[in-house]
Each structure stands twice: as C-alpha cells, then as structure tokens.
Amino acid sequence: MRKAGSYIRNGMQNEFVAFGALCYAGFMTEGSVSTAQGDQAATRPDDAGGPRLPLTQRVAGAIRDMIVQDQLKPGERIRERALSEVLKVSRTPLREALKLLSAEGLVEILPHRGAVVANPEPQEIYGKLQVLGVLESLAGELAAVQATDEEISEVRALHFEMLASYTRKNRLEYFKANQKIHRAILSCSRNEALIETHSRINAQLYRVRYQSNLRNRKWQSAIEEHEDILHALEARDSGRLSALLRAHLGSTWAKVSEMLGVSGSE
Amino acid sequence: MRKAGSYIRNGMQNEFVAFGALCYAGFMTEGSVSTAQGDQAATRPDDAGGPRLPLTQRVAGAIRDMIVQDQLKPGERIRERALSEVLKVSRTPLREALKLLSAEGLVEILPHRGAVVANPEPQEIYGKLQVLGVLESLAGELAAVQATDEEISEVRALHFEMLASYTRKNRLEYFKANQKIHRAILSCSRNEALIETHSRINAQLYRVRYQSNLRNRKWQSAIEEHEDILHALEARDSGRLSALLRAHLGSTWAKVSEMLGVSGSE
DNA sequence: TGTGGAAAAATGGCATACAATTTTCGATAG
DNA sequence: CTATCGAAAATTGTATGCCATTTTTCCACA
C-alpha cells in the first residue's frame, strides 16, 4: 500500500490527507480560492466529481490561503461568527479547522479570546529556519542514497522550470518552482515523518518567505546554490548534499532577515 | 461489545496510575494541559478548583493518557459517542480533541469511519527516530553553546536521578528521568520551534519507547551513552554533543527494533 | 453457501441555546 | 478632565438535538 515513489507525480492534486492538508502544491493556482470575494472552495457543492474532503479540512485550507495571501494578517484576531458567515459554514467545522491550524502553527488559540494569526518574531523565524535546515539536511542525506534516477531527473526538470521562471522574471512562478524542488527532494527521503514535519514547519514560514521573495532584490540568488545542490544529488554525494541543503537555509535567513530589518543575523 | 465504562476504572487500578504525570510535560506550545492534574478532571467536572483550561484540551490530554497507557490500543477504533459517555462530555469538545490529536499524529481520522489510534509500522517508527535524531542533534549543538551553567548542573542532577532509579531497578522512574534529561537538553537550545517539534515526534513514539523500555533486557544500556553526552555538554563540545545525541537515537532504534522483531535494522 | 440490499449504526455537519469569560464603554468619584 | 469601577455587550466554550451521508451489519433469497 505504500505509494513510495509517487510523490512527484501525484504531488500536486493530492487527494485525502489524513493529517491535515499541509501541502501547498496548488497554492494560489489559477482557479484558487479567493475566499474574500464571496466565491469559495469551502462551500462549493458538487464540483465535477468533487473531492469529498471533510468540510473541516476545506475550511482549514481556505483559511490557510487567506493567511498566506495576507487577507488575514499576522496578529489579527479571527472572529468565529464573522468568518463563519464569510465562509458560509457553521461555527462547528470552523472551530475544528482553527484547531487544526493551531496544531500546524499558523494560528494561535487563546482561551476565551479566540484565534489570532501567528505572528512569529524574527528570532522565532530564525529558529524555524534552523529546524528546517536540519530536516532538509537529513532529507538530502537520505535522498542521495535512495532516490531513483527518475526522481533525480524530475528534480532537474523542476530546476529548469525554475530557470524558465527566473528568465521571465516571474517571481511567483519562480517561488513555486523553488518550493517544488525542495518538496521533491524531501519525497526522495522515503521518510513520511520527515516529509510531514518539514511540511509543517515550511507552512509556518510560507508567508514570510513568500513576502521575502517578492521584495528582495537578490531574489534569484538561490539559482547558484540550487545548481550545486542538483550536482550533489546527481553525483549521489550524500554528505555534500546534506551540507549544501543546510547552508541553503542559512542564506534563506540572510534574505528574510534583511527584509525584516534584523540587525545581527546571529 | 461496549466495554465503555471500564476505561477509566482500569486506568486507576493498573500500575500506570503514576504514568499520567510523566508524559507530555510541555507538549502543547501554550497553555499546556499538564496532564498530571488535568487528566482525570475531564471525568470529574465538578471537581474543586474549577478547570481553567478549555474542556477540549483536557479531553485531549485524557485521550493521550489512555493511548500511552494502552487503554486505547494501536489500531483500535475510537467511537465518539461511547467515549463521550465515558468521559462525560458532549461530542463537540470530544471531536475537537480528536482533531487535535490527529494533528499531533497520535490518532488517525478516516472519513466517515472515525478516529483510530495511530499504529505506526516499524519502518515509520524508524523514520520518526531518524527525525528525532537530527532534532536532538541540533539541540545539542545549540545547547553546548547557549546553556547556562545552572542548566548544565540540572542535567547532571537529572542524570544522578536516573542512576538512582537504575540502581533501584525502577524502570518507570528510569524511563521518566531519561525523558527528562532529553527535554532538559532540548530546552537549552532556546529554540521554541525545535522544542515543540521534538515534543510532537517524541509523543508519537512515547508509547513504543515505553514498551521497549519495559521489555528490553538491556534497558540500562543508555547509561553509558548518557555519561558521554553529559561530559560533552559540560565540556561545551558542540560537535561531539551533536554527534552523540544523534547516535543515541540510533541505539534507541536498535532496542525498539529488537522488541518489534525487525530483522534488518537498515 | 454466496450475494444483494435493506436496516442499523456511526460519523459529518448544522443550528440553537445557554454558560463562561472577556471586552467595551459609560457612569461616577476624585 | 482623568481614572476607576462595574454593568452591559460581545465573543468564545459547551451541550444538545437533528438530519445527511457513509459505513457496517446481517438477513432474506437465490
């Protein structure tokens, strides 16, 4: 029953995800949510063979998108009744969705004061990037050994996609391709817990990284690092791939901290 | 078929009664349930000193304990109505609690089939231990640099506690002290995301590690490794502490896999 | 004995009501 | 005018009943 090697193939439109849909593969895709404008995925009735995801998870997805898209801003309080009216669902599934997002770290639930959008301080962001660094490092270590040749080819293809987006100066596509590459490497690790944990932390950083990508002048600097990463993967150089991935997160912090105006980058 | 009313009663009679006090200290990021005093309160609503924590979180804590104590066995289905009667709460907070636990990875929610206690296969357990390894490794790296002298002393004190329990051949106390030591090192990292992520994965392995500890003949073998770890910490040898902690999880896998009867330890 | 399908049971979801708590805001005193 | 206290309003927490959907059980029937 293991769907081991299929992550890249079906990775985009994953069906049911039991442990909360942490996958942002389809984030801000064309026909996406746009929850604030009245039409919302959370309440669509029967889309063509529509995925029968539990309403709670669809609501969670809608809120996730609203957070990442800054329709819900960090620190902002989420009022249950108001949001349930906007999303056109009752409070019950909405509250369950908020519980999910709380466990994912995207919102914080204060007793009797409701949920607020997580607003991590620079130091916390740095900490999360550190964790992400060791996780990707482990993933690289495993991927270099266990990846199939097809998977490595797919990573290279994604790399070219990213180059295409870079050439077109399309930051959004560039960012998405960048994320895809890292997810692809993670999936090569064959370690579900690793993939899931990485997705969780990554989700907590998604918004700030997206903002950083939009604003940073050196937004393309990851290209060279990705070249090295790709070479290490193709050479199946476990140690080098591991080290490069961890260092990669270091330069991510450099860019993020610049945007945040942090003085000492520790 | 409904052995409903026996859950709690069993819990009070068996040897695990003290067990609730040891698990998940500081598990939830905030407003920690502190199951030591909160667990049974869920079944006694009228207890003195009105519960200040939302019922949902107390229920989640109660279910956590039931899982770890094997009152709810891996793979067992959790019936909402039955369990809500046992805990004497309505379905609403119970369902929210199950959502929480699902996000924590202790239960799995299948659409229209309800929640079942997570039952990871050996391969998944190995994967989680790998993740735990790099997390503790990072924690050691940071702790060696950032820990205060007082914190290091406290780790040593905990080490002596563990030795005491070992000498008395008290496996439960030994296990608890062991966990405490690792949590103490984690807290020295000053990295909330790291601590929280570690707690999450650790919770998923708590039951199997406890069982392993109970059954393994070489249950004291971690003593020597802990000696080395302690020395590296006191010498503030970042690299060595990091490496030792990761290797430590390797030997944990050796013990767990032996219990599970896994042939190749990969 | 095997299969189809109806009945039963369980979960998914909604709405309402009420309790507990926080927040708001106005009245009063200094 | 400001500060503080407290009642009212708003918001979250919990319980309950209801129905829809899906799964499971199991009995009739071939």
Q: Are residues B126 and B238 in the same domain?
A: yes
Residue A50 Cβ under 7 A from any strand C atom: no
Question: Is residue A161 assigned to a domain?
Answer: yes
User: Smallest Cβ distance to A18: which of B108, B124, B200?
Assistant: B108
How many domains are contained in chain A? Answer: 2
Find and give the residue nearest to C14, measured CA to C1'. Answer: A90
Task: Calculate the CA dihedral of residues B60, B63, B69, B74 and round it to 10 degrees.
Answer: -110
Contact A135 B134 (CB under 8 A): yes
Token couple for B29:
């990021």
Whether residue A68 lies inside any domain: the answer is: yes
Give strand pairing partners of A91: none
- Is A101 found in the same domain as A205? no
Q: pLDDT higher for A61 or B33?
A: A61
pLDDT recorded at residue A106: 93
Q: Say if B1 falls within a structural domain.
A: no
**Does B266 map to a domain?**
no
Weakest mean pLDDT among A30-44, A113-127, B143-157: A30-44
Q: How confident is the model at residue B30 (pLDDT cuts 50, 70, 90)?
A: very low
- Give the domain-ending residue among B83, B100, B117: B117
Residue A261 pLDDT more than 60?
yes
Give yes or no: residues A113 and A127 share one domain.
Answer: no
List C-alpha distances in Å: B148 to A218, B144, B174, B193, B235: 38, 9, 25, 20, 12
Among A222, A92, A50, A233, CA closest to A152: A233
- Residues A40, A83 within the same domain: yes
Strand partners, A108: A116
Question: Does residue A21 lie in a domain region?
Answer: no
Point out the domain boundary residue: A77, A93, A117. A117
> How many angstroms separate the CA atoms of B89 and B61, rounded?
14
Long-range CB contacts (< 8 A, 24+ apart) of A256-262?
A256/A125, A256/A129, A256/A208, A256/A209, A256/A212, A257/A122, A257/A126, A258/A216, A259/A211, A259/A212, A259/A215, A259/A216, A260/A122, A260/A125, A260/A208, A262/A122
More confident of the two residues A186 and B57: A186
- What token pair was written down for B40? 């049974």
Q: Predicted confidence band at B113 (pLDDT cuts at 50, 70, 90)?
A: confident
Determine the pLDDT at residue A52: 59
Among B111, B131, B142, beta carbon nearest to A194:
B131
Lowest mean pLDDT among A25-34, A59-68, B143-152, B173-182: A25-34
Residues B105 and B34 in one domain: yes
Query: Is pLDDT larger for residue A246 or for residue A15?
Result: A246
Kindly state the helix (H) or strand (E) to which residue A112 belongs, with its residue range. Answer: none
Residue B210 in any domain: the answer is yes
pLDDT, mean of residues A207-214 = 89
User: Which CATH number belongs to the domain containing residue A201 in this structure?
Assistant: 1.20.120.530
Average pLDDT, chain A: 80
How far is Cα A144 from Cα A150, in angstroms, rounded to an integer?
13
- Closest-CA distance, A126 to chain B, in angstroms, reads 9
A173 burial (CB, 10 Å; 0-12 / 13-18 / 19+) is middle
In chain B, % of residues over pLDDT 70:
79
Q: pLDDT, tens digit, for every residue of A19-49?
A: 333 334 333 332 233 333 333 333 333 333 3
Instruction: Out of A174-183, B69-78, B189-198, pick the least confident.
Output: B69-78
What is the pLDDT averaged over residues B136-157? Answer: 97
Q: Are B133 and B182 in contact (CB under 8 A)?
A: no
Give pLDDT, residue A228. 94
Would you mind telling me the total number of residues written for chain A in this entry?
Answer: 266
Q: Which strands sit side by side in the sheet containing B77-78, from one edge to the other?
A: B77-78, B114-117, B107-110
Backbone angles phi, psi at A109, to 5 degrees: -110, 120
Distance (Å) from the alpha carbon of A162 to chain B's nearest alpha carbon? 29
Report CB contact under 8 Å: B138, A131. yes
Q: Are residues B163 and B38 in the same domain?
A: no
Q: Return all residues near B44 (Cβ < 8 A) that are at least 6 apart.
A: none
Cβ of A112 less than 7 A from strand C? yes
For tokens 């390894």, the residue is B133
Chain B window 145-164: residues with CB closer than 7 Å to nucleic chain D are none
Closest CA to B140 of B239, B223, B8: B239
Predicted local distance difference test score (pLDDT) of residue B220: 67
Distance B258 CA to D24 C1' (A): 37
- B111: CATH: 1.10.10.10
CA B172 to the chain's CA centroid: 13
Q: Which residues of B touch A238 (CB under 8 A)?
A: none
Q: Verify that B253 and B167 share a domain, yes or no.
A: yes
Q: Is A52 in Cβ contact with B130 (below 8 Å)?
A: no
| Same domain, yes or no: A102 and A141 | no
Interval A237-261 mean pLDDT: 93
Q: Check whether residue B236 and residue B145 sit in a common domain.
A: yes
Cβ atoms of B116 and B108 closer than 8 Å: yes
pLDDT band at B263 (very low <50, low <70, confident <90, very high): low
B211-236 confidence digits (pLDDT tens): 888 888 877 678 889 999 999 999 99
Indicate whether B146 pLDDT > 90: yes
Cβ of A90 near strand C (under 7 Å)? The reply is: yes
- Residue B265 counted as domain residue: no
Q: Which nucleotide is the nearest neighbour of B50, by CA and C1'? A: C20
pLDDT of residue A259 exceeding 70, the answer is: yes
pLDDT greater than 70 at residue A208: yes
Are B108 and B188 within one domain? no
d(CA A89, CA A55) in angstroms, rounded, equals 9
Q: Are residues B43 and B167 in the same domain?
A: no
Distance from CA of B102 to the nearest CA of A (A): 6
Q: How far apart are CA A205 and CA A217, in angstroms?
A: 19
Residue B31 Cβ under 7 A from any strand D atom: no
**Residue scoring higher pLDDT (B185 or B224):** B185
Q: How many angstroms separate the CA of A93 from the C1' of C13?
A: 7
Mean pLDDT of A84-106: 90
- Residue B51 confidence class, pLDDT cut points 50, 70, 90: low
Asked if B192 and A127 come within 8 Å (Cβ–Cβ), the reply is yes
Measure B44 CA to nearest chain A CA, in Å. 20
Is there contact between A217 and strand C, defined as CB under 7 Å from any strand atom? no
Q: Is B12 inside a domain boundary?
A: yes
- Residue B265 confidence class, pLDDT cut points 50, 70, 90: very low
Report pLDDT for B52.
64
- Which has the higher per-residue pLDDT, B8 or A225? A225
Q: The domain containing residue B201 runs over which residues?
A: 122-260
Average pLDDT for A158-169: 94
pLDDT recorded at residue B125: 96
Burial (0-12, 13-18, 19+ Cβ within 10 Å), B184: buried
**SS3 state of residue A117:** strand
Cα–Cα separations (whole angstroms), residue B4 to A101, B41, B88: 31, 18, 11
Domain finish residue from A117, A141, A157:
A117
Q: What is the pLDDT of residue B266?
A: 40
Q: Are residues A135 and A248 in the same domain?
A: yes
pLDDT value at position B31?
31
